[in-house]
Amino acid sequence: MMEDMAFADYDYEFAQDEEGEDYLDYYDEDVYELPVGESWEEEEEETNMSTGASMSELYEYCVVPTVSDSSQHLYSLLAWSLIFLLTTRIVRPPAWLVHLMSATCGGIVTWGMFGHRCSYMVCLLAVGGLVLSLSHFVLKSRRGPFTCVSCVAFLIACELWLADPVDWHSIRGPQMIILMKVVSVGFDLDSSSLSRLPNILEMVGYILNPGTVIFGPWISFSSYKRVLQPFSWNLRLVLGVIIHLITCMIFLLLSTCFALWMVPDSINKWAQAFRDAFSFRSSHYFVSYLSVTSAQLSGLDIREVARPAYIEIPRSLVEVVVYWNMPMHYWLKTYIFKTARNWFGIFWAILFTYSMSSLFHGLNFQLAAVLLSLGFYTYVEHSLRVKLASIFDACVLARPCPEKCHHQYKKWSWIGIFINISFSVLAMVHLAYLGIMFDSNSQEQETGYSLSHTLKIV
């Protein structure tokens, strides 16, 4: 990513990648796990309604408590994001004051969410910043890899020895965002996308920006620096924030209240699997739209994080991993996969990327199993569909062909429709199978799922 490409960070209309880059993404529960303390989790369990409840009971005992409780927890995040926007864009303060306000507002939000657990985040920031600075001034090369290895080593040390399991699990998401931001600065310095190492105030303002510090999404340092530019006030911004906020609450209610209410436990296991997987995906969409809302309220130019339509009715698993979390897909593709591909080749670079993603999440067998399964599935699917497209001369690749492609049979031909629908159904089945591993009723949810728990569900 070069300096003149700063505005391309959120251009996610990726073309068909013949080198396998579209295999990459997180199936990321931890980054999008709601880090709000035990009281909310307990209240959500109490408000999950059985399928025998009437609509009025569902509204009274689930919808109202869920909206009320979530509003209380999210008020601080949205309020401080807006405060940062108003205090730095109505007037034009000096750059150092903008970074200071970003760090202050983000610090207040983080402390309100996590309390003393913020100390882990401070330690990760200190480790990453120190290694980044030393590698920049002493080694003057490979700043990205050295920073990445150091941050992952710190996460593993906390996982095994330094942190309380419950406390650590509750802040894995923000820790992931910090790691991604620090590491991306190192790689951008290596590629000369950044001309200089950001100073301490710039780095802290970037990492603790209130719009991205809790739920993300990841943004590059170049994207963050746009907060220093004049801001365009318009009605479209206000409507966008309102629409995203309403959408995120709809997905929260679907996940918490309506999924279980609409699909009873008395039906067959596959229907329950689809229901539970949809509930899990809805919670992810909730946080995705919430992250867009908070980022836009803080003045960042974030358009979208996930595309639910492409996930619920997928063309392929390759598209699912691309549109599940687009900023993270871009991060993994840019900073991990492309680097590993130069060393190992495409196939091993894919496995390395998913393995690194697993390490970013900590020593969690469940997430590692899902990530590596997705890596294997998407590689096989991509390769198979390339061969089918060649044999039948049809538009049946994992990613859609451009409008003017060389294939004889287009996507609306009978062979194109048949093959694409077949793979779509197969992708839905895979999503249901992988989604049920995230069992929200398990006691292990607070500390991460073990090998025995995951194999028992499988």
Answer for the pair 305, 327: CB distance below 8 angstroms, yes or no. yes
Instruction: Compute φ and ψ for 261, nearest 5 degrees.
Output: -70, -40
The predicted pLDDT at position 26 comes to: 35
The predicted pLDDT at position 436 comes to: 65
The predicted pLDDT at position 109 comes to: 95
Dig out the tokens for 458 from the structure.
Answer: 């499988």
Dig out the tokens for 116 from the structure.
Answer: 């003393």
Dig out the tokens for 296 from the structure.
Answer: 């836009």
**Cα 61 to Cα 196: distance, rounded to the nearest angstrom:** 55
* Coil/strand/helix, residue 394: strand
The predicted pLDDT at position 377 comes to: 87
pTM for this one? 0.84
pLDDT in tens, 397-440: 999 888 788 888 888 889 999 999 999 999 988 887 776 665 55
pLDDT in tens, 376-407: 888 899 999 999 999 999 999 999 888 788 88
Dig out the tokens for 392 from the structure.
Answer: 């039948």
CA-based nearest residue to 395, from 382, 405, 387, 383: 405
Answer for the pair 360, 155: CB distance below 8 angstroms, yes or no. yes
The predicted pLDDT at position 241 comes to: 92
- For the chain, which residues score pLDDT lower than 50? 1-20, 23-50, 442-448, 450-451, 453-458
How do the domains of the chain map onto residue ranges? 21-33+243-457, 38-235
The predicted pLDDT at position 22 comes to: 52
CA separation (Å) from 282 to 129, 155, 253, 454?
35, 28, 9, 21
Instruction: Tell me the catalytic residues.
Output: 361
The predicted pLDDT at position 55 comes to: 81
Q: At what angle do helices 235-253 and 269-297 cross, to 10 degrees?
A: 150
* Coil/strand/helix, residue 178: helix
Q: How crowded is residue 242: how many other Cβ atoms within 10 Å of its Cβ? A: 11
